[in-house]
């Protein structure tokens, strides 16, 4: 009974994490309607940094110090997965709908598999290859709104700066994960993520100040404040901790399956909260992306 109850709690946490992460696209879309992308990214990560400090202190009893080589690695993690990802995430959401953005970023596992094969020489089975192709087809379907020929013939009319930025998020996260794979034997995921978050926050501060951080904070709208608090506390600190609990309890293979719920929850919440239309091309693209990612994760 105890094991079953524990498993149920883990599955509930992972499901809630997927819904929370789906909600980050809606919160991000709301935030950048009134504040700049660097300001939104800094505020999100400043809140997350404070929350993660408490988590690390509670877990370790202190904040462990890093060696010089570890600091260099954490700096790379902060540049790629924190600074780069969040700046591109909020920049892309200024023009790209939350639902469409979530489906592009859902390609993360697929692009990571491709990057691992290319840079770390990990094997890429034919099943993973099929999953990658299906996912990429789904993403192309979503971006082109079902007009694949137009995407090929007139890409500039369909593929704008916002889409480029969202794809940049995927590449940033791939870099973060591949760098992390090389150092996770010396740092726990929690500690590496916390230090990377702190580094990324510091790196974002000058850009946020230049963008008008101080003025933005003094005139921040309630909906923007709630959005960045959601992103910092739930989307970053709570989401990571719950997913980390799931990884420890049931392993990465089972836990990663819940990631497929993120774009589904994002599209649903975008329709309910933001009034974004659930078009046939979006639905078809979502099914293809989720199917492809599921095949890639299981291969």
Q: Where are the beta strands (DSSP E) in the chain?
A: none
What is the reported pTM? 0.91
The one-character DSSP state at 260 is: G
Residue 196's pLDDT is what?
93
Q: What's the chain's Rg over C-alpha atoms?
A: 19
Quote the percentage of the chain above a pLDDT of 70: 96
Residue 1's pLDDT is what?
42
Residue 148's pLDDT is what?
83
Angle between helices 98-105 and 161-183 (to 10 degrees): 40
Residue 111's pLDDT is what?
92
Residue 243's pLDDT is what?
85
Residue 283's pLDDT is what?
92
Tokens of residue 245, six digits: 């609990």
Residue 231's pLDDT is what?
96
pLDDT < 70: residue spans in the chain: 1-6, 183-184, 252-253, 299
Tokens of residue 209, six digits: 């100040």
For residue range 145-160, what is the model confidence (pLDDT) as tens digits?
Answer: 888 887 777 777 777 8
User: Three-class SS of residue 158?
Assistant: helix
Q: Which residue has 């980050």 as its token pair? A: 24
């Amino acid at each position: 009974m105890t094991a079953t109850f524990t498993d149920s709690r883990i599955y509930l946490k992972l499901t809630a994490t997927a819904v929370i992460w789906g909600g980050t696209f809606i919160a991000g879309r709301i935030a950048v309607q009134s504040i700049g992308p660097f300001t939104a990214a800094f505020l999100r990560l400043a809140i997350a940094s404070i929350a993660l400090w408490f988590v690390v202190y509670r877990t370790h009893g202190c904040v462990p110090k890093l060696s010089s080589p570890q600091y260099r690695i954490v700096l790379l993690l902060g540049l790629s997965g924190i600074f780069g990802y969040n700046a591109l995430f909020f920049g892309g959401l200024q023009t790209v709908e939350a639902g469409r953005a979530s489906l592009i970023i859902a390609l993360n596992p697929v692009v990571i598999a491709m990057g691992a094969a290319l840079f770390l020489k990990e094997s890429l089975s034919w099943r993973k290859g099929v999953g990658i192709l299906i996912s990429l087809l789904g993403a192309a379907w979503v971006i082109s709104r079902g007009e694949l020929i137009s995407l090929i013939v007139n890409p500039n009319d369909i593929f704008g700066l916002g889409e480029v930025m969202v794809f940049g998020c995927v590449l940033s996260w791939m870099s973060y994960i591949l760098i992390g794979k090389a150092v996770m034997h010396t740092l726990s995921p929690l500690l590496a993520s916390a230090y990377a978050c702190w580094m990324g926050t510091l790196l974002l501060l000058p850009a946020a100040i230049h963008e008008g951080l101080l003025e933005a904070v003094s005139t921040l709208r309630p909906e923007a404040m709630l959005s960045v608090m959601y992103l910092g506390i739930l989307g970053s600190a709570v989401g990571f901790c719950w997913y980390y609990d799931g990884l420890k309890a049931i392993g990465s293979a089972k836990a990663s399956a819940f990631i497929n719920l993120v774009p589904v929850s994002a599209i649903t919440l975008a329709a309910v909260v933001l009034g974004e239309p659930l078009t046939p091309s979006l639905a078809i693209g979502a099914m293809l992306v989720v199917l492809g990612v599921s095949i890639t994760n299981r291969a």
